[in-house]
Structure 1
Amino acid sequence: MVAPDVQKRMTVLQATFIGVGSMVGAGIFALLGAAGAVAGSAVWLSFLIAGAIAGLQGYSFAKLGARYPTGGGLLEYLSRGFGQGHIAGIGAWLFFTAGSIVVAMIAASFGGYASSVVAGGDEFWAKVLGVLLVLAMTALNAVGSTAVARVQSVLVTIVLCILTVFAVVTIANWNPALLAPSGYPGVREIIASVALTFFAFLGFGVITFTAKDLPNPSRQLPRAIYLALAIATTVYVAVSLGVFGTLTANQVVEYGATAIAEAAKPTLGQAGYVLMVITALLSTTGAVNAGLYPSIGMTRQLASIGQFPPVFGRSGGRFPVGLLVMAGLAIILVSAFDLTSIASIGSAVALLVFSTVTVGHFRLFRETGANIVVLVIALVATLGTLIVFCTTTLVNEPATALALLAVVALSIIADFGWKSAAARKQT
């Protein structure tokens, strides 16, 4: 009989790349225009602040992950902090549902880029290509975590290399006057933009689900979290300096999702534009792959402790039920809905879950060895970001606000409904 640890073949770097791939997805392409509309050419500073806040939250996750390394990831931390009651259950359904939405939005972004290359931007083909990506990444995840980690490492390495070349070339040829502090907006605007740029860091939470595949998660998980955040922050700051040092803030806002590609043109020409489109396709592929990855370990762990129905702990052939459900929801969303109107829902849900995890950590800090002062600062920073997000972004996106309320309501119904049904079976 083979010892369980022999099956754990994921390295720290591979776990890191799952987090980096989840973060450096469509976010960096879509965010620059939106953030530039608020923070102007100070977007690089906004990314730096968002990275610091993510680092504080990462400290909380790293301490919890070292103490409680399971496939349940951050949802296991909720159960540890609040018990296996409704808070942990609602948080789990909330995270799972929002994860499906985020996977769908990234797949839709891939479809849009791919359709522009092969089908002239046709909307029908954009949906078809988005669905095909979800199916392909579902099959990859069904093969196993080793295959996921290897493919993710290749994708992320290529994306990081291209973005590094882009940053070096654009910064070497930038116009420093475009980044002069005299052109920055007020502190209030820069802080408000952090609620947008923080979205680009939300994927680091996925790393907590790699604990089941790491040989020594107590030591390796914290390293993977910190390394992923350091890489993502460096890339975001360097890319934003390159873009806003090449284009004016108004041009970045006008170009939107293609701003990076447009910024590559002055020094790399049309080839640079094409290269950045390819980068967008690779990064969205990696983000969908990483987005689906937690569904297996997460749902199996939750089913084993009674938070999810037992069916989520089973498989249909090689395909775990949790993976099939998340992929199925994502495919329905890609096929039937315009996801651009609820693009920020992932931010709201993640900030809500992250804040709740840190509150639960207050009950556990003696067991984890965490510094209570750092946890307080992390909670204040994350809650502050959530409040700013709600008072700025959600106010201007009523569809997102309604979708968020709907997801919360469905999560509450799912948790109470399942647990009531389970209680009736026991009586």
Structure 2
Amino acid sequence: MQATFIGVGSMVGAGIFALLGAAGAVAGAAVWLSFLIAGIIAALQGYSFAKLGAKYPSGGGILTFLSRGFGEGHLAGIGSWLFFTAGSIVVAMIATSFGGYASAVVADDDRFWGKAFAVALILVMTALNAVGSSAVARVQSVIVVVVLVILTVFAVVTIASWDLTLLAPAGYPGAREIIASVALTFFAFLGFGVITFTAKDLPNPARQLPKAIYFALAIATTIYVAVSLGVFGTLTADQVVEYGATALAEAAKPTLGQAGYVLMVITALFSTTGAVNAGLYPSIGMTAHLASVGQFPPVFGRSVGRFPVGLLVMAALAIVLVIGFDLNKIASIGSAVALLVFSAVSIAHLRLFRGTGASVVVLVIGLIATLGTFVVFSTTTLVNEPATAIALVAIIVIAVAVDVWWKAAARRSTTPLRG
């Protein structure tokens, strides 16, 4: 159950508060359908991850699956650096969202205080993760229960009084726009990959890991669809786009008044806190595993006092991103990179399916769906946002360069000197 809480906390905090406005700008009131399609794609990947995790439980999570399928070569190494970077971007984006809500409450939406709150949250959650996985799980359990209860109440109240004319299919955009928005809404499901890194802490990972993945995806998909129906059944698509991250809070006003607005702001703070907590969690086991097999430098397997180096590096990178970059322009990069890594895991699984007992048909459908989402992202978002395209290419090039450099340095250190 704790693994499920970590997955749900990572997904719900990452998506529903930040994405409604952006997705609404593309898909209009059909956003609920985009979330449903994204949930189905995530479920296909979840099936693959569950089968692999049951066979190869490890603190390295999905990166262990890459190594099993391709060996400990450059492909697995590049994928590992990309996933680590994507994790840092996601943590930074969610922390920035927390900072925006917190500063709006106490500092009149001041930009400085927004970044200050974001950095403070990363530091606090880093300390919590350094205490140990049991502390992370306990805090995550409390946060997830609170968030789910409030979002459920929100969905029930708004759906009970919705205006069905706002959700009429006649007002939906074309299929292309709805499919294009899936590339955005899929970002809301990236957190389920975090569950694979909990395998090392589960008494019976072969049985518990698949259940945790399926249960977390079912909860997140249901919440996303219900909340989006409630929001777009209360506000027009233009209003949702205008309100952006505070759309949920605004949608609560007609039925719950100002108290509903405040309640949803508090929920957003809880939700983003849980997502940062869950986002940092895999950095410890992941980097320690990668250091042990030679994919990352040995320093990533060490600790500074009680703080694992991998955790410190991810937190530091996230803080740099928060302070130095406009994350609204590059936040989708985390989704794009994760889609590439997930696709690579699917290909690796096709080389391992006899050992995992997975259905080849399901794996191929999952691979096509995931790559298709990335293609849609590339032909819509990247075409219209050159800065995002440049950032994606730069991240890939840096990952390749770092992996090549480290592998070459490791070979030189093990080559005997000739005298």
| Cα distance between partner residues in 2 of 1:397 and 1:29 | 22
The TM-score normalised by the length of structure 1 is 0.96
> 1:105: Cα distance to partner?
1.2
Alignment of 1:95-244 (within 5 A): 95-244=83-232
> 1:299: Cα distance to partner?
0.4
> 1:141: Cα distance to partner?
0.1
Q: Give the equivalent residue in structure 2 for 1:9.
A: none
Asked if the contact 2:38/2:182 (under 8 Å) is kept, the reply is yes
| Cα distance between partner residues in 2 of 1:137 and 1:396 | 35
**Partner deviation per Cα, 1:171-199 (whole Å, 9 max, x = no partner):** 00111111112222222221111111111
* Correspondent of 2:70 among 65, 71, 82: 82
Asked if the contact 2:18/2:97 (under 8 Å) is kept, the reply is no
**Partner deviation per Cα, 1:57-107 (whole Å, 9 max, x = no partner):** 100000000000000000000000000000000000111112111111111
| Cα distance between partner residues in 1 of 2:108 and 2:151 | 25
Count of paired positions: 415
| Cα distance between partner residues in 2 of 1:374 and 1:229 | 17
> 1:217: Cα distance to partner?
0.4
> 1:26: Cα distance to partner?
4.0
Does 2:295 correspond to 1:307? yes
**Partner deviation per Cα, 1:196-226 (whole Å, 9 max, x = no partner):** 1111111100000000000000110000000
Cα root mean square deviation, aligned = 0.8
* Correspondent of 1:329 among 296, 317, 333: 317
> 1:413: Cα distance to partner?
1.2
The TM-score normalised by the length of structure 2 is 0.98
**Partner deviation per Cα, 1:253-293 (whole Å, 9 max, x = no partner):** 11111111111000000010111111111111011101100
SS of 2:162's equivalent in the other structure is coil
- Write the letter of the residue equivalent to 2:171: G
* Correspondent of 2:398 among 390, 410, 419: 410
| Cα distance between partner residues in 1 of 2:177 and 2:314 | 36
Asked if the contact 1:26/1:280 (under 8 Å) is kept, the reply is no
- Write the letter of the residue equivalent to 1:160: L
Q: Give the equivalent residue in structure 2 for 1:10.
A: none
Residues 154/265 of structure 1: CA separation in 2 closer, same or farther (3 Å cut): same
Q: Give the equivalent residue in structure 2 for 1:373.
A: 361
SS of 1:25's equivalent in the other structure is helix
| Cα distance between partner residues in 2 of 1:282 and 1:396 | 33
Q: Give the equivalent residue in structure 2 for 1:401.
A: 389
SS of 1:120's equivalent in the other structure is coil
Alignment of 1:52-67 (within 5 A): 52-67=40-55
| Cα distance between partner residues in 2 of 1:108 and 1:30 | 10
- Write the letter of the residue equivalent to 2:120: L
* Correspondent of 2:269 among 271, 281, 292: 281
Further displaced range: 408-417 or 367-376 = 408-417
Further displaced range: 133-142 or 104-113 = 104-113
Structure 1 unaligned runs (5+)?
Answer: 1-12
Q: Give the equivalent residue in structure 2 for 1:271.
A: 259
> 1:336: Cα distance to partner?
2.0
* Correspondent of 2:377 among 384, 389, 394: 389
Structure 2 unaligned runs (5+)?
Answer: none
| Cα distance between partner residues in 2 of 1:184 and 1:377 | 27
Q: Give the equivalent residue in structure 2 for 1:247.
A: 235
Asked if the contact 2:14/2:191 (under 8 Å) is kept, the reply is no
| Cα distance between partner residues in 2 of 1:345 and 1:17 | 25
| Cα distance between partner residues in 2 of 1:190 and 1:330 | 31
Q: Give the equivalent residue in structure 1 for 2:29.
A: 41
Asked if the contact 1:26/1:109 (under 8 Å) is kept, the reply is no
Further displaced range: 96-105 or 199-208 = 96-105
- Write the letter of the residue equivalent to 1:181: P
- Write the letter of the residue equivalent to 1:192: A
**Partner deviation per Cα, 1:334-387 (whole Å, 9 max, x = no partner):** 122222211101110000000000001110000000000000000000000010
| Cα distance between partner residues in 1 of 2:303 and 2:399 | 23
**Partner deviation per Cα, 1:134-159 (whole Å, 9 max, x = no partner):** 00000000000000001001011101
Q: Give the equivalent residue in structure 2 for 1:5.
A: none
- Write the letter of the residue equivalent to 2:217: L
SS of 1:51's equivalent in the other structure is helix
> 1:396: Cα distance to partner?
2.0
Q: Give the equivalent residue in structure 2 for 1:364.
A: 352
- Write the letter of the residue equivalent to 2:269: L
SS of 2:58's equivalent in the other structure is coil
